[in-house]
Structure 1
Amino acid sequence: MTLTEKAIICEMAEALKSKTDLHLGLYHCPEGWFHPLYLQDKANNFTTSKFVEAQITPELYELVNNYKPDIVWSDGEWEAPDTYYGSKEFLAWLYNDSPVKDTVVTNDRWGDGDHCQHGGYWTCHDRYNPEVLQPRKWENSMTIDRKSWEFRRKAVLDDYRTMKEIIAILVETVSVFFYRCGGNLLINVGPTKYGMISPIFEERLRQMGEWLKVNGEAVYASSPLLAQNDTVTPGVW
């Protein structure tokens, strides 16, 4: 990150903690893609870890020590095992010795094969909907734009989920399909290169807020069904 980006994150983190009851989550991608050191490690079948030692490990420690996030959301690690990324060592420090050790949570994307196996909660894969009761906390990570996690200038209106569709996904995620802890819904919006949220994303988020003002008690104060039968009243949760 540049010094400007670091300063912006610092200001955001401080504002969230001091002026709101929101929690700060930071996304981190350990994949090097086209970085020369990463390509060298990849050519060595990930038996070397020069890229991790030079960039990934320092980045992760800096993110936690400087910004003290409530969530560390790792992603894009599917080419190499967690032993290459040093994930176990970082997570051991995060949960035992870091400044957020008593409050932080993590997802399950810390190396190839870790999805739906390890982590504070499961994301498994994008738009994950297990459709059966789960023994672990899990998250459905989905997009308002059906085709992308980013801002697309060529997107047309039909590419965006309607509010009715988003609410249906939310209700399905938090109701029948959860066991003990319940499913979380992560709704992605793609900002422009200037960091602006386009009006259609803003509209959907505001509509969700208005819906939750009326129906939030049924989401936040809900409890799980002990039996599941979706065949009797489909579409009713």
Structure 2
Amino acid sequence: MTATGVRVGESGRGRPAEVPARFARSSWFRRDRFGMFIHWGPYSVPARDPWLRSHERLGIEDYQFAVDGFGAEDYDPHAWAELAQAAGMKYAVLTAKHHDGFCLFDSAHTEYSSMHNGIGRDLVREFLDAFRARGIKVGLYYSLLDWHHPDYPHYGDFIHPERDNPAFADHQPDLESYRHYMHSQVKELCSNYGQLDILWFDFSYEGMGPEEWGAQELIETVRALQPTALIDNRLEADGGGPGSIVTDAPTDYSGDFASPEQLVPVEGIRAHDGTPVPWESCVTINNNWGYTAGDDLWKSPEQLITKLVECVAKGGNMLLNVGPDPRGRIQPEAIERLRAIGEWLAVNGESVYGAGPAGLDTPEWGYYTRTDTALYAHVLRAPIGPLALTGGVDKDAITRISLLGEGRELPMCDAWVVKSYPDIPFVQFGEVGHFTYPLPDPIDTVVRIEGA
């Protein structure tokens, strides 16, 4: 069962349910499947975490060393874009402003930005220009929180750095003033930088939600200025829950996609009526969003590839994060992994781009994905003997089975070893009579099945 109580594939064995018309704006997003998240800002200087001001209760003055030290001396967004393209990523989202309030763009409403801290550059504009030049769709992350703004709630807030500092016990937030500031900056991003493909807002929490953000007014502004831009669900939710996007009465600001964080949903995300909801799992490539010098817990290329496939098989996307260092350099370990993913996608991308759930039960050896033209078996674990295409594949409908990338046709097995399973199709990776062969790709061998 899904988190909303609906079993994937209930709409009919062999064909998944259609995505509702209200999500038509996200058609490209559901086709492209794989994007790059980029967390970059002054928090890369202490090299600990974008949340360090909150976790360590750092005041604005104590954080100033990070703002002063954030130099972007080696920032080359064209190199970033080349890497994203080599990784097979089709879109990218940059943190235009994170929770610390520091802006990577030229804003008329603050000097707390890359235009005034010594860099003197509009880093967002450079990012957009470089990625658009390579045909990569572009998005901007904008934090609804702001730990620098004087009118944002301080004392008693759930996560503000000064939440339990007695010196701020008498602080009186002016939410009307803050909303005006925040809405004005969103208008700048929507008006001054051309067409945006995604606006990634982050996030609602206890005491700070749609009413405090002025979410209805904000969404109307965004839709007027950027009518085709996709918006996530965090004007009313966080990474742990979907909000009204899965209900029978979604709000105007419920979003175009759900955004689970650091987790691939158990069986995808569906609305209460059982229809699919577009979603994107945002995940880190090691354990931290921003540059963290001591974090060596890098996910392997194999894990990242198979998790991307799992997302697609469950109807979702993967937004994979990198955290450049203060100079703008992406770590070699991240580069190595992204290029490895790209090499796999160069061969097997047909089973990911434009693909989605197969409407079949998940097999024990891996996953199925499906496009309009074929079914794809992602074989992650080698069988003993021929591979059983379990899960409800229609044996009689199959017209051809081949190894994706090579195009080599794979024979069906009807030998004595499978006679107990007359309704299940079995496929061999080698010649008939020799049943066990190593998988051609030990990470994920993709078998293309036509007709089924």
TM-score range, shorter chain: 0.7 to 0.9
Confirm or deny that 1:141 pairs with 2:282. yes
**Structure 2 CA distance for partners of 1:44 and 1:8, relative to 1, 3 Å:** closer
Is the CA contact (8 Å cut-off) linking 2:288 and 2:295 kept in structure 1?
A: no
Please report how far the alpha carbon of residue 6 of structure 1 lies from its aligned counterpart in structure 2 after TM superposition.
5.7
Task: Report how far residue 223 of structure 1 moved.
Answer: 4.4
Which residue is equivalent to 2:188?
62
Q: How does 1:128-207 map to 2 (within 5 A)?
A: 128-133=263-268, 134=270, 135-145=276-286, 147-156=287-296, 159-175=297-313, 177-178=314-315, 183-207=316-340
Deviation at 1:10, TM superposition (A): 1.8
**Larger relative helix fraction:** 1
**Does the CA-based 8 Å contact 1:46-1:84 persist in structure 2?**
no
Question: Does the CA contact (< 8 Å) of 2:262 and 2:283 recur in 1?
Answer: yes
Tell me if structure 1 keeps the 8 A contact 2:310–2:367. Answer: no
CA distance in 1: counterparts of 2:238 and 2:335, whole angstroms: 35
Tell me the secondary structure at the aligned position of residue 320 of structure 2.
Answer: strand
Q: Does 1:225 align with 2:358?
A: yes
Matched letter for residue 185 of structure 1: M
Deviation at 1:143? 0.8
Higher strand fraction: Structure 1 or Structure 2?
A: 2
The verdict on how the C-alpha distance between 1:223 and 1:172 changes in structure 2, with shifts beyond 3 A counting, is: closer
Structure 1, unaligned runs of 5 or more:
none
Larger Rg: 2
Deviation for aligned residue 1:213: 0.5
Aligned partner of 2:205 in structure 1 is 78
In the alignment, the residues of structure 2 paired with residue 76 and residue 168 of structure 1 have an alpha-carbon distance, to the nearest angstrom, of 28
* Counterpart residue number, 1:104: 229
Q: Which moved more, 1:7-16 or 1:202-211?
A: 7-16
**Residue 135 of structure 2 is aligned to residue 21 of structure 1:** yes
Displacement of 1:13 in angstroms is 1.9
Equivalent-residue separation in structure 1 for 2:356 and 2:236 (angstroms): 33
Identity of aligned residues (%): 28
Q: 2:150 aligns with which of 36, 46, 67?
A: 36
- Alpha-carbon offset, residue 221 of structure 1: 3.5
How far the C-alpha of 1:33 sits from its partner, in A, is 2.8
Q: How many residues align?
A: 221
For normalisation by structure 2, the TM-score amounts to 0.45
User: 1:104 deviation in Å?
Assistant: 0.7
Structure with more relative contact order (C-alpha pairs < 8 Å, separation 6 or more): 2
Aligned partner of 1:50 in structure 2 is 177
Offset of residue 203 of structure 1: 1.0
For the aligned residue pairs, the C-alpha RMSD in angstroms reads 2.5
For 1:9, the equivalent position in structure 2 comes to 124
- Quote how far apart the aligned CAs of 1:234 are: 4.0
Q: SS of the residue aligned with 2:122?
A: helix
- CA offsets per residue over residues 139-178 of structure 1, 9 Å max, x none? 1111111x2111111122xx00000000110010001x12
Deviation at 1:44, TM superposition (A): 8.8
Write the distance in 1 (CA, Å) between the matches of 2:191 and 2:221: 11
Find the aligned partners of 1:46 and 1:77 in 2 and give their Cα distance: 17
Hey, what's the Cα distance between the residues in 2 that align with 1:8 and 1:62?
Answer: 14
Contact 1:144–1:188 (Cα < 8 Å) also in 2: yes
C-alpha contact 2:301 2:340 (8 A) present in aligned 1: yes
Deviations 1:111-156 (A, max 9, x none): 3579412211000x312322224321001111111x2111111122
Checking the alignment, whether the CA contact within 8 Å between 1:81 and 1:113 is kept in structure 2 is no
4+ aligned runs moved over 4 Å, structure 1: 40-47, 112-115
